[in-house]
Chains A and B, each alone.
Chain A
Amino acid sequence: MLEISVKARRGSFRLEVDCLLLSEWTVLSGPSGSGKSTLLRIMAGLDQPAVHGPEQARISLDGQLLTDSANGFALPPGRRQTSLVAQQPSLFPHLSVVANIEFGLRGLDRKARKARGEEMLELVDAKELVNRRTRELSGGEAQRVALARALAPRPRLLLLDEPFSALDGASSDALLARLERWLPANRVQTLMATHDATDAFATRAAVALLMDGKLEALGPAHQVLAHERQRLLARIGGG
């Protein structure tokens, strides 16, 4: 259960989101510039609302407070059990694929780290990349490895920001299907930002629709994105 109450300003842009996400998988849908990335960064603890002024944020996960700006409280990003995978994979270029995945596994012994790394690479269907250098990876491969790195520490909350943009449709759907099985089984709540409505229809996720920094709707994809669904069907029919 994810409680989000955020009011933030970035220049002239205002973000106001107040919601309770109960679904294990929620797609945060909305056009580019609607505030999806800003919201995810605040939730990850990478951006903090200003202490003074109209900004405020209160975020809690399963009853545990992550941010409470009114009381000046914010857990550091590494202690939120939260992972964020952005469109740019940002793999550490001086480390190998395996070293990237094991970066967040410091508490585990060597054997456990290796096993976890292999498990994660298998999950994202990238076992063949185990001995590769990050510089040699294609965009899609790098995104898979970034996802494996983010999941390796077993976060309780996974934030995905257009994470499959470099994958083709079939690969993206296959990976989504794998994640849809694995994440709930491992009790990971997921919030995936996307401007592509088909991502929302590809999963059984709830959809939160963000427009111009405001949460317009929250519910099943076929309701929230009914208009978008009609538009896509019309395009297919017209094609």
Chain B
Amino acid sequence: MDWQAFALTLKLAATTTVILLAVAVPLAAWLVLGHSRWRGVVEAVAALPLVLPPTVLGFFLLVLLGPRTLIGRGITTLLGHPLAFSFSGLVVGSVIYSLPFAVQPLVAGFAAVETAYVDAARLLGAGPARVVLSLLVPLARRSLLAAAILSFLHTVGEFGVVLMLGGDIPGATRTLSIVLYNQVENFDYTAAARTSAVLFALSVLALGVIYAGWRPRGGRRA
């Protein structure tokens, strides 16, 4: 078992999940509560990684973050190294790749919160941030948990984006999915089975938390 890759995978998934929730909560709230005519466009863009082949997304990001573009050169100047083939680059790729898995459960959860609660909070002086943090997030806490777990798992199982954008650098970009691919390439099916079992167990455990092991206090939301 490649424990270095295991630790790196967990670190990547945890970092991605935290960043995704910080981005997805306000984005989902804006999509549900906002009145902008750009909502449809933003929703479509946020859902794009669902249908885009991961290798295509990885390639786009590889080019965008590489030395061929102004953005890539700017990042290199700023950080002292390119984002491609680095852990930070993987985080950027993972956040974009898993964005719909965080946004969509949150949009569904926030939309299910009764408008009358939001109206009451606004009348009592709550601004948008307070409406989201004091009302939408606690009332849609199950959706928040689903978003976190789906983002985490999706990042754990990510392969195409990682391979295109990160390559296979031990300790920096080699995740469990890459390890599994290498093991199969080398016909080491015993090791591949162990790696697969770890990934499988993570998925089952997380889905168990969503569907069985966690219930909001007091049962279903009123």
Contact = CB atoms under 8 A, between A and B. Distances in A.
Contacts, number: 55
- The interface size bin for chain A is 20 to 34
A104 B127 CA distance: 11
Given A78-B127, A135-B218, A90 B122 contact: no
Given A93-B222, A135-B218, A44 B123 contact: yes
Given A90-B114, A92-B135, A106 B119 contact: no
Interface residues of B, number: 19
B124 A46 contact: no
B123 A83 contact: yes
Nearest to A94: B138
Contacts of A92: 117, 120-121, 135, 139
A139 interface: no
* Most chain B C-beta atoms within 10 Å of own C-beta, residue among A76, A92, A133, A149: A92
Nearest to B123: A77
A225 to B, nearest CB: 29
Nearest to B141: A94
Interface in B120-138: 120-127, 134-135, 138
A140 to B, nearest CB: 17
Interface in A24-78: 44, 46, 76-78
B187 to A, nearest CB: 55
Nearest to B217: A94
Contacts of A79: 125
A189 interface: no
Contacts of B117: 90, 92
A103 interface: yes
B39 interface: no
Contact of A94 (B119, B120, B139): B139
A86 interface: yes
Contacts of B51: none
B116 interface: yes
Interface of B: 114, 116-117, 119-127, 134-135, 138-139, 218, 221-222
7 contacts: A77-B122, A86-B116, A90-B116, A90-B117, A93-B221, A94-B138, A153-B124
What are the 8 A-B residue pairs with the smallest beta carbon separation, nearest first? A104-B124, A78-B125, A90-B116, A93-B222, A77-B122, A77-B123, A94-B138, A90-B120
